[in-house]
Structure formats: C-alpha cells, structure tokens
Chain A
Amino acid sequence: MKPINEMTLIFPSKSSNESLARVVAAAFASQLDPTVEELAEVKTAVSEAVTNSIIHGYENKIGEITMHCKLYSDSIEIAVTDKGKGIENVELARQPLYTSKPEMERSGMGFTVMEAFMDKVEVITEVGKGTTVVLFKTFKFLAG
C-alpha cells in the first residue's frame, strides 16, 4: 500500500525537541481529521519513543533522531530511529515496570503506554547500532 503523504523530521537528541516531535506528528496526523482523543494518543506515544531515544539510546549525549511519518487513507505509521546503544533484550524492555534506569525515577511504563495508545508497536534494534520503534494507528472514525 502506498502512503498518501510522507514526511521526515530530523533533530538532535535534546529534551527540548520532545514537544516539537509530538506536535509535528500530531499536526501531520490531523490531515486525516482524527478525534482529539486519537491525536492525544499519537502525541503521547511519540513522546515516549523520542524520550527513550534521548535518555536510553544516546544516554543524554547528543545524537541524531529521525521521525518518519507515513499517512494512509485512514491510518498513520510513525518510525522513530536513533543510532544509539540499542536494546539487548527487547522482550524484557517491553515488559510493564521494567526500566534500566530506576535511579532516574523512570517508571518503566513507556512501552506499555505506546502499546495502549497505538494499535501496534514494532521494535527493530541492534546492540551498538541503534533502535527503531514503529508506531501504527488506524483512526477508527475514518475506518468506519
């Protein structure tokens, strides 16, 4: 299936760009006229993925984050990619309450939130090379 629209945002892994990324993703998604609630869900999931790249992928060193968004007639696909340290055990990382940084008061709920707010979450990762998280969501009203 060919997307009806596409866009890419590339930015350094600064925490001030978290709000930029989620606002851009929501603005792009609003071309499909989703509900306010669906937009809030997209924003939250993007915020989780981008924050993970910043604090876990690059561990607060500055690296490049790419957000690639594809729009289909009734759905969106958002891929957030970092070239950071990668995830050794994805199954463990995706478990609710698992965090590698409890000392930073992280709750380990990021993946759980992404899964709750989106239809599907894919993780492609290689240790030492980086991580891509792909978020999929169909906008229900449009899908009928």
Chain B
Amino acid sequence: MRLQNNIQLDNNKVAKGGYALDIKLSKRGNALIAKFYGELDDHTVEYARQKIENEMIKPAVKNIILDFSNLTFMDSSGIGMIMGRYKKMEKISGKVAIACSNPQIIRLLNISGISSVIPLHPDINSAVKTLRGE
C-alpha cells in the first residue's frame, strides 16, 4: 500500500518528506531480511505486514531480521506488526531479530517490552551473526 502521490524511492534512499514506507527483502542463508526505508505508522503498516507475510510463509525461511537502520519513524502501529510476526515465527520455532540504531525507535521498542522478547542489534551483521549462533 503506497500513497497515491507515489514518492519515488531509489535504491537506498528514504522518501523526501518521509510520507512513505518501502521494504526491500533479501535472504541470507535461511534468514529473511526485511529492510525498512521511511516511516512505519498506521498508514504504512499494512504494506509492511503483507510484504513480509507473503515471504515468511515460504519453507526456506527459518528466521526473520527486521532491519530498521533506515527507518526514520515508528509508532505503536509498528509494535503490533512486530509482535504479530514474532508470534507467527514462534509457532514454527523460527526466530526474529531487530537491527536498529535510531534512539526514538529503540525507546519505543523498550517501552513496549519488545526488546525483552526480541533481541535488538545495532546493525544487520550483528543480527545475522547471532542468529547463526556465532
């Protein structure tokens, strides 16, 4: 779900004005990596939910890494989405990890208790290593 006045997002750039969310998916081993660009709120959360859901039901996916390194905003709509994905992964004994360095978002993850069930990492490499058990 993107805005009608679609803001072009080129490869690694956040939309100017931050009105949109873009998610790029990739794989590293059996981990699905979802890189978030832009803002995660009630308006964009459904796009995030669907984009990740379609991919995480594939049998090759064992774990998920949510990469918030390029996320500029998140509110409680994001908390609900993360918890929803976490519960689904738990059912198939999969793990979830979060990469995030934005202080506002880290505070939100702490207040909501997410950081006590899902490990937070400063960057994606640290998340990948931990999931591999290195």
Looking at B81, B83, B84, B107, which has the most chain A CB atoms within 10 Å of its CB? B107
Which 4 residue pairs of A and B lie closest in terms of their CB atoms, listed nearest first?
A: A15-B43, A40-B104, A105-B80, A107-B79
Chain B residues within 8 Å of chain A by Cβ, number:
23
Q: B43 contacts which of A19, A23, A37 (Cβ < 8 Å)?
A: A19
Q: Is B55 in contact with chain A by the CB < 8 A criterion?
A: no
8 contacts between A and B (CB under 8 A): A19-B18, A22-B73, A40-B73, A47-B42, A47-B73, A55-B42, A106-B77, A109-B76
- Whether A107 pairs with B112 at a CB distance below 8 angstroms is yes
- In the complex, which of the residues B73, B83, B108 contacts A105, with contact meaning CB atoms closer than 8 Å? B83
A9 to chain B, nearest CB (A): 16
Is B75's beta carbon under 8 Å from chain A? Answer: yes
Q: Give B residues with C-beta under 8 Å from A.
A: 3, 18-19, 39, 41-43, 49, 73, 75-77, 79-81, 83-84, 103-104, 107-108, 111-112
Residues of A within 8 A of B108 (CB): 44, 113
Chain A residue total in the interface (Cβ 8 A): 25
- Using a CB-CB cutoff of 8 Å, which residues 20-57 of chain A contact chain B? 22-23, 37, 40-41, 43-44, 47-48, 51, 54-55
Interface of B is mostly: helix
A86 lies within 8 A of chain B by Cβ: no
**Closest-CB distance, A101 to chain B (whole angstroms):** 9
CB-based contact B75/A106 at 8 Å: no
Other than the given A15-B42, A112-B112, 8 more pairs (CB < 8 A) read A19-B43, A47-B42, A54-B42, A106-B80, A107-B112, A109-B79, A109-B112, A116-B111
CB distance B104 to A47 under 8 Å? Answer: no
User: Which residue in chain B gives the minimum CB-CB distance to A20?
Assistant: B19
Chain B minimum-CB-distance residue to A104: B80
Task: Assess the A19–B19 pair: CB atoms within 8 A.
Answer: yes
